[in-house]
Amino acid sequence: MGVTATSNRRYRPFFWEEFAQAATARSQEQGRRQSVPVWAERGLCALREGLGCEPGGAPAMRHLHRVQLTDDHQSGQLLPDSYRAEHAALTLFGLHQSASADPVHRPGVGLGTAVRGLREGLLSSNAAERRLMAAATAQELDELVQHLRGLIPLLHRTDTGLDYTRLYYDLRDWLSADNGQVVRAWGLQYYAPSSADTPQDAYSGETAPAQPYWAGFDPQLAEAGVHLAALRSGAGRQAGTVPAMWSLYRTSIGASLRNKGALTRDLMAEHAALTIFGVHQQGRETSVHTPGHSPGSACRRLLASANAKGQERDSAADRLAVERRLGALLTSLDAGELAQHLRRLAPLLRKQDIGLDYDALRHALRYWDDPRRPDEQSRIRSRWDRDFHTDTTTPPA
């Protein structure tokens, strides 16, 4: 039995890494550009021959692969994802490098970062955003590669490189059942602010979070309906995996976490709050973000509204129904279950024109099941229960 093809264990660097190392070394030695060994130039020629070919279909570039194939793979028709991904990365690198004098393999430059650089004079923000979203929503690897090939001339014009090792892993993971981390990484690289970009509080010196989307929401803006539809489409999806929501996140994330598409608790909480807001705000002419209104006080108002309108059910039945909804919230085992119950409550609140404090809601979703804050869930639960019974509207401390 042959050795299984793998990308996790390599006996030599990828071709683009070898090319960049050789070009840099020769340039330093001879003090001039475009100085690469003959083997590297021949390798680029082989990659140009591979453009448009199926993986494994260009004999001249087979020796440039670092992913090894088993005898079964070589004799069969189904190539491993790692080999297909490397073929795509190699051909993209060949196209990119052939048009550039300096090495285009730039460690640390993810696709989202590279496309963000195109906004600086070459493309408008909307045009750059559309190109990245088109890549992120591609249904197949071939479609994704076509979008990436369309970006190569633009990257060349702005002397923008790519981390082709990172791109290889992105392409490989794209072929897996769950490519959410790849999509999230591209979106975070392009949009999410870093802690260095976020202003500090003048008194504490600590990083002040950017104003969340709901705090500045204006229902009268032309794009409001599109944004709310994007938020609703994110319900039940992992944070960062819906490209239409990328520009609506405000969570600051460190560079290393952005580049790898890390799924942080802060981002998950903001995502959940945004999807609930999208359901709650739909069709309303004023913002439903109401500071000081917890789910407990909102349920209290929901009950009062039902009683005031003289519905067919008696007061005791109304109270029991509302208490059951609040009880479902208070007994949620984790933040995911809490978010589901809040999304089910949101349409009822919307119908009765009852708002929620989404800043406090995001806080609850962030710390509901955080093992580092074991007492926080109990504190939030007690406050919501107290708000239901006392109808307090005082914002939480």
The pLDDT score that the predictor gives to residue 5 is 47
Q: For residues 278 and 230, give the distance between their C-alpha atoms in angstroms, rounded to a whole number.
A: 8
Tokens of 89: 């990365």
How much is the pLDDT for 357?
Answer: 98
pLDDT value of residue 310: 56
pLDDT computed for residue 76 by the predictor: 60
How far CA 164 is from CA of 14, 307, 341, in Å, comes to 9, 63, 43
The separation between CA 252 and the C-alpha centre of its own chain, rounded to angstroms, equals: 13
Q: CB-hemisphere CA count at 13 Å for 373? A: 14
Following DSSP, what letter does each residue of 5-55 receive, concatenated?
P-SS--SS--HHHHHHHHHHHHHHHHS-SS---HHHHHHHHHHHHHTTPPT
pLDDT at 1: 36
How far is the C-alpha of 337 from the C-alpha of 275, rounded, in Å?
Answer: 14
pLDDT 10s per residue in the chain (397 long)?
Answer: 333 444 444 578 999 999 999 988 876 665 555 567 889 999 999 998 888 899 988 999 999 999 988 877 666 668 899 999 999 999 999 999 998 889 999 999 999 999 999 987 789 999 999 999 999 999 999 999 999 999 999 999 999 999 999 999 999 999 887 789 999 999 999 997 655 455 444 443 444 568 999 999 999 999 999 999 999 999 999 999 999 999 999 999 988 898 899 999 999 999 999 999 999 999 999 999 999 999 999 999 998 887 766 555 556 667 788 889 999 999 999 999 999 999 999 999 999 999 999 999 999 999 999 999 999 999 999 999 999 998 544 444 3
The DSSP secondary-structure symbol of 207 reads B
Cα gap 151→326, rounded to integer Å:
51
Judge whether 364 and 338 are in contact, CB under 8 Å: yes
* Residue 397: per-residue pLDDT: 38
Please tell me the predicted confidence (pLDDT) of residue 37. Answer: 85
Pick from 151, 13, 175: which is nearest to 95 by CA? 151
Q: For residue range 6-63, list pLDDT tens digits in order.
A: 444 457 899 999 999 998 887 666 555 556 788 999 999 999 888 889 998 899 999 9
pLDDT of residue 200: 44
The separation between CA 345 and the C-alpha centre of its own chain, rounded to angstroms, equals 26
Of 389, 397, 395, 214, which is closest to residue 301 (Cα–Cα)?
389
Q: How far apart are CA 271 and CA 183, in angstroms?
A: 15
pLDDT tens profile 271-304: 999 999 999 999 999 999 999 999 999 999 998 8
